[in-house]
Structure 1
Amino acid sequence: MKKKPAHVSYYRDVRGKVRWRFRRVRFPESQTTEAFGSEGWWAWYAAASNAQPIVIGASRVKPGSIHALGVAYYGSGDFLGLKPNTQRTYKGIFDRYRDKYGDNPVAMLEARHIRGQMDKMAATPAAANNMLKVLRAVMRFAVDRGFARADPTVGVRMLRYRSEGFHAWTEHEIEAFELKWPIGTSERLGFDLLLYTAQRSGDVRQMTVHQIRDGRVLVRQEKTGQLVDIPQHPNLQASLAARKIEHLALLTTKQGKPFTEKGFGNWVSKAAERAGLPHCSAHGLRKAAARRLAEAGCTVHEIMSITGHQSLKEVERYTREVARRGLADTAMNRIA
C-alpha cells in the first residue's frame, strides 16, 4: 500500500468492508469506502482536508451576540494574521469584554454604550483605551462580515490622561544593580542584554546563542517584525564571556527552561528589588539605553537603528529631553 497522507486512517466495519476515515483537530470528520489511491478516493480526501475548520464554542453562543462575534473573530484571518503576542493581548481584552457584555446583540451596540462602558473604567484610563482599540478592530470585522451595519466605535474618543510609562533607570540605579549582581551571574547577563541591546524584554528573553555571533547581535523583533543588526557592546561581550551558556536560550530559569513573558519580567523586577530598586523594571532598561544614546549625541535615526522603533515620536522625546537639559546647563553657565 502506498503511504497514507496526513490525518487519514482506515478500519473494517462489521461487514468486513474497508472504510477510510479523515480526522483532524477542529475539522469535521469524514469517511469513505472508495478504494485507496483511486480518483474517487483522492477527491474525497481533497474535500475533507479543505473543509472549513470547526469554530470552537460556536454551538454554545447566541447567534448575533457579542459572544458569537468573538467566536467568529478568533477563527478569522483578521485575528489569525496578527502576531502571536498581539493575539494574546487582543483575546485577553476582548474576552473580558465578553464576560461583561457577551449576551448582548452586536447589532444593538451603539457609540453611547461604549462611551458609558469607558466612563465606568475612568479610574484605569489606559485599560479603557486598550479596550477601545481592540473594539475598533473587532467592530471593523463585524461590519465586514455582516454582524453590524455600522461601526459603533466611530467617533468614540480615547480617555485623556498623563502617564510617564515605565521608569527609565538612572545612572545611579544602573550602578547599584551592577554592584549587587557582578559579571558572571545570570541576573547580570539578563541586565546587560537588556541595557546594551536596547531591545524589548520579550525579544531579550527569547534570544538564542545563534543570535550572538561575529561580534554582533541579530534580532527579528517580535512586535514589529523589524530586523535589528547591532554590534556587541564591550560590556555585553564581557558579560557573555563570563557566563557559561549551556542551553540554546541565553537566559533560562533555574530548571533550564525558557522564561515565560510574565516570568521574565518578574525575574528582572525581583533582581532589581534585591538591589534596592523596587521601582525599576526590564522595560525601563530599554528606555535607559535610548536615553544614553541620546546623551551621546546620536541622531533620532541612529537611535532607531538600535532600538528598532518605527515611529519618530517616541525616540524624539529622548533627544528633546537631553537637548533641553543641555540648553539649561548652557543658559545657567552664562550667568554663573
Structure 2
Amino acid sequence: MSDAIEGVKPIRRKLASGAERVYYYHRATGHRLPDDPASPAFKAMLDRANREAASLLRPPRPSTRTIATLIRTYQSAPDWTKLAASTRETEQFNINAIEREFGDMPLAAVEQKGARAIFLEWRDELAEEHPRAADGKLVRLARILKFAFDREMIDKHPLATFRRVYGVDRSATLWLPEHFAALNAEARPEIRLAAFVALHTGQRRGDLIALRWGQYDGSAIRLTQSKTGAQVFIPCTKALRTALDELRALASAARLDVEMCPILLSPSGRPWTIEAFKTAWRRAFQRSGITADLHFHDIRGTAVTMLAEAGCTVPEIASITGHALESAQRIIDRYLARTNALAVSAIAKLEARLS
C-alpha cells in the first residue's frame, strides 16, 4: 500500500524479535510520517509536508516593499495613530506629497548611496517657493524612515541628520564661474549643455528636459512651466542662440520631425528621464570635485542673481524665470546681503593691512 502513495518512501526494518516493521518518510522533506497510512493523522501530516515542499521549491517572491507600502505600515502604527487628529490632518498633506514623489521607490533603494542626495534635492526644489513647507515634508519623510529603521525594515537611515533650509541664507549656494569650469572639465557634453541652458533660461530641470525644438523660434523660447502652469517667454542670449542653432542643424540632419524632438538628449540620443538625468548629474558633480553644497536647481537662483546684476527689475526677472515676485525678490535680497557682508569683510581686511 505504501509503495502506491506518491511522495512517500517506505523503509522496512527487521526488529530484534524477527518481525518486520515499515517506517514512512516524506521523500521531499525527509519528515517521518505516522505508522498507519490509513489514519487521518498520516493524511494530515502528508498534506502539511507537501505544502512545505512546495514552498521550498517555489522561487522567492521579489520584494514588493516600497515607500508607499512603508507609509501604509507607518500610518497603522502608534507613531502615527497617537498623534493629535489636527496634526494628522495637517501632516497628511506632507505624506501625500512624499507618496506622489517617491511612492514606487523600493525600500532597498533607500539604503543605496545617492538616496540622501535625491531626497535633499527634492526638498530644495520645493524650497524655491515655500521653504518652510519644504522642510516640513522632509521632516515627515525622515520620521517615516526612522520608523522603518527602528523596526529593521531598512539598515540605513539616509535622513538621520540634515539642515533645514527655512531661515537659512541660501545665497551662498550660487554657482560661480569656477564651479561651472570644474563641472565642464569632467562632465559629458549632454550634462554641460543642460547646465548651460539652465543658466541662460533660469528654468527648472523638469521643464528643460521636456523642452522641444518647436518651442524655440530662433530668437526666444516659449514654455508652460509644469509646476506652476506659468507661461514664460524667454528671449535667448546670443550665446544661447548660437548653441541652439548649431544643435538644431545637427538634429534636422538626423531626424524628419525635429520640432517634436527634445532639445536635451541623453548620451544614447534618447530623451532624458528624470531619474536618468539625476543619476548622470550626480556622477558628473562627484567627479568635478566641487566641495560647495550645490545642486542643479541652484543654477536657477544663480540666473536670477545674474539678471539682477545686469540691472533687471524684479518683474522683468520673474517674467523670464517664472518665479513669483516675492520669491525672486527674496533671492536677490539674500544675494545682496551676502555681497554686502563680503564687502564689509574686505574693507576690514584692507584697513587691518594698512594700519
**TM-score normalised per structure 1:** 0.51
Q: In the alignment, what sits opposite 2:241?
A: 237
Letter in 2 for 1:250: I
Paired residues, what number? 212
* AA at the equivalent of 1:320: D
Relative contact order (C-alpha < 8 Å, sep 6+): which is higher? 2
Aligned to 2:320: 306
* 2:261 matches 1:261: no
Cα distance in 2 for residues equivalent to 1:186 and 1:205: 11
Q: Which of 206, 212, 222 pairs up with 2:210?
A: 206
Which structure carries more helix by proportion? 2
Matches within 5 A, 1:58-137: 96-102=70-76, 110-111=84-85, 114=88, 129-130=136-137
Could you say what the CA RMSD is over the residues aligned between the two structures, in angstroms?
4.3
CA distance in 1, matches of 2:278, 2:217: 26
- Whether 2:162 is the aligned partner of 1:170: answer no
- Alignment deviations for residues 52-80 of structure 1 (CA, whole Å, 9 cap, x no partner): xxxxxxxxxxxxxxxxxxxxxxxxxxxxx
Provide the secondary structure at the position in 1 that maps to 2:183.
helix
Q: Does 1:288 align with 2:298?
A: no
What amino acid does structure 1 have at the position aligned with 2:268? Q
Whole-angstrom CA distance in 2 between matches of 1:228 and 1:310: 12
Q: Report the secondary structure of 1:238's partner residue.
A: helix
The match for 2:193 is 189
Amino acid paired to 1:303:
I
Unaligned runs of 5+ in 1: 1-91, 119-123, 135-158
| Structure 1 Cα separation of the partners of residues 197 and 328 of structure 2 | 20
Partner Cα distance (1:164, 1:260) in 2? 31
Name the SS for the 2:210 alignment partner: coil
Q: Is the 8 A contact 2:190 2:266 kept in 1?
A: no
Task: Specify whether residues 197 and 233 from structure 1 end up closer, same or farther in structure 2 by C-alpha distance, changes over 3 A only.
Answer: same
1:110 Cα deviation from its structure 2 partner: 3.0
Structure 2 SS opposite 1:194: helix
Q: Distance in 1 between matches of 2:296 and 2:165?
A: 26
1:221-262 CA deviation, whole Å, 9 max, x = no partner? 000010111111122223224433356011222333221122
Change (3 A) 1:107 1:231: same
* 3-state SS of 1:255 partner: coil
Shift of 1:164: 5.3
Q: Any conservation in 2 of the 1:198–1:287 contact (CA below 8 Å)?
A: yes
Per the TM alignment, residue 316 of structure 1 is displaced from its structure 2 partner at its CA by: 1.5
Quote how far apart the aligned CAs of 1:167 are.
3.3
Match of 1:271 in 2: 284
Contact 2:169 2:334 (8 Å CA) reproduced: no
Q: Partner amino acid for 2:72? A: R
Where do 5+ consecutive residues of structure 2 fail to align?
1-65, 93-119, 121-131, 142-163
8 Å CA contact 1:269, 1:280 repeated in 2? no
Q: Once the 2 structures are TM-superposed, how far is the Cα of residue 266 of structure 1 from its aligned partner? A: 2.3
- 2:331 paired with 1:318: yes
**Any idea what SS the aligned residue of 1:219 has?**
strand
| SS in structure 2 of the partner of residue 293 of structure 1 | helix
After superposition, what is the alpha-carbon deviation per residue over 1:75-96, rounded to whole angstroms, capped at 9, x for unaligned?
A: xxxxxxxxxxxxxxxxx98765
**Structure 2 contact 314–325 (Cα < 8 Å) conserved:** no
